[in-house]
Structure 1
Amino acid sequence: MAGGVGGGGDGATSSKKGLEGTGLDLPENRHGNLKSASSDQNLKDLLVQIKSCKSPAVINYGASWCRVCSQILPAFCQLSNSFPKLSFVYADIDECPETTQHIRYTPTFHFYRDGERVDEMFGAGEERLHDRLWLHS
């Protein structure tokens, strides 16, 4: 069960996608600042929003089969509650194959400020992620 995280699913298929498709019990997102990209078009739309609204954002590129991704994802969701001014996006590389073909390692985190990508972090580490989020918030 996805612990109250709002799904970005398109409803066209019976299988769950995005955060709900991970099968993890994830913390509730209290500020509505966590979104899930469940298709290439969905991720493209979210990237356009990030670039146009100019507010700070972080994208977590992961995969449902990646053990390290599964370990950091609950912390990523929890941290979305600690940084309400940041936009958080989770993108599964298998659900967004065209727009994530440049991702070579999971998890990969991209940080955006004023519509531009300003930082990148590879791998997990809750403290490292917290510090980067603090730096970019």
Structure 2
Amino acid sequence: MEGGAKKNESSNMKTASTDEDLSDILLQIRASKTPAVINYGASWCRVCNQILPAFQQFSKKFPKLSFVYADIDECPETTQHIRYTPTFQFYRDGERVDEMFGAGEERLHDRLWLHS
């Protein structure tokens, strides 16, 4: 993510740019019980870059969800379990309840609707 994209307009969208960031965010998700979705992507992944603008738009459309973007290259320790990019993980009451591999705006929208 370039060009100052780390600071997002939407308050429910966070970007983890280090392992420490992502660890802190995961702790917050577990503690707050707020429903959340984490988008694990990579700057070199074409599909990740295509879905990211939609992910950011959806963060405005689903204000009850916390949205997180984590680049697997910037957070190598905390994302070593991620095998595909993009991977979307959905959390409810501090627990991971769902996972979606790959993009697809409509699929993602439906999953977000389901978990919001």
TM-score of the two chains, using structure 2 as the length reference: 0.94
User: What count of residue pairs does the alignment treat as equivalent?
Assistant: 114
Mapped partners of 1:2, 1:125: distance in 2: 25
Q: Which runs of 5+ in 2 are unaligned?
A: none
Matched, 1:67 2:68: no
Structure 1, unpaired ranges of 5+? 8-27
How far apart are the structure 2 equivalents of 1:107 and 1:49? 22
Cα drift, residue 98 of structure 1: 0.3
**TM-superposed deviation, 1:6:** 1.3
Question: Which structure would you say has the larger RCO, counting Cα contacts within 8 Å and 6 or more residues apart?
Answer: 2
Residues 10-38 of structure 1, C-alpha deviation per residue, up to 9 Å, x if partnerless? xxxxxxxxxxxxxxxxxx42xx0000000
- Paired with 1:72 and 1:132, the residues of 2 have a C-alpha distance of 14
Matched-pair identity in % = 77
| Cα distance in 2 between the residues matched to 1:2 and 1:111 | 26
1:100 corresponds to: 79
What does 1:118-137 align with in structure 2 at a 5 Å threshold? 118-137=97-116
The aligned residue for residue 6 of structure 1 is 7
Q: TM-score, normalised by structure 1?
A: 0.80
C-alpha RMSD over aligned residues: 1.2
Q: 1:109 aligns to what?
A: 88
The corresponding residue for 2:23 is 44
Find out whether 1:35 has 2:36 as its counterpart: no
Q: Which has the larger radius of gyration?
A: 1
After TM superposition, the runs of 4+ consecutive aligned structure 1 residues lying more than 2 A away are none
